[in-house]
Amino acid sequence: MRAVVQRVKKAGVRVDGAFKGSIDNGLLVYLGVEKGDSPGDAGYLSSKLKALRIFEDSAGKMNRDIGEVGGSVLVISQFTLIWDARKGRRPSFDRAEAPRRAKELYETFIKCLTDAGVPVKEGEFQANMEVESVNDGPVTILLDSKKVF
């Protein structure tokens, strides 16, 4: 399971032109599910995300986590994070999990966050979405449950 995490001042998502959800001061998370991922991957990634100290303290150092700043998370499913573009000019998505199983693990990830007390908004799984954000920093972190990076 992979995530691109961006610290944002605000972020929102629309599906088919209709407003779906938004957050202020928090994290915008693009989440991709790979074949072989399990609920353990979702748990690992959600706990890692909750504990990331990427918000500034009073001294201006990245030393606070999402809970300490009262922030929220906007989760957007994005299977293209699993694409492999090493060969040719068109990426392969063979390693991306099948939609039904990917949705289960996407929902598990969200449940892990909410169970940990993190306010979560989400996009719509398998939908064409318009995502807007105002990055803070910018700060962008890459997470991988298999610790590839």
Q: Which of 80, 114, 126, 140 is catalytic?
A: 80
Is 114 considered catalytic here? no
Q: Which of 6, 19, 55, 78 is catalytic?
A: 78
Is 126 considered catalytic here? no
Nearest-angstrom CA–CA distance, 82 and 1: 8
Is 80 considered catalytic here? yes
Q: Which of 6, 79, 108, 109 is catalytic?
A: 79
Active site amino acids? 78-80
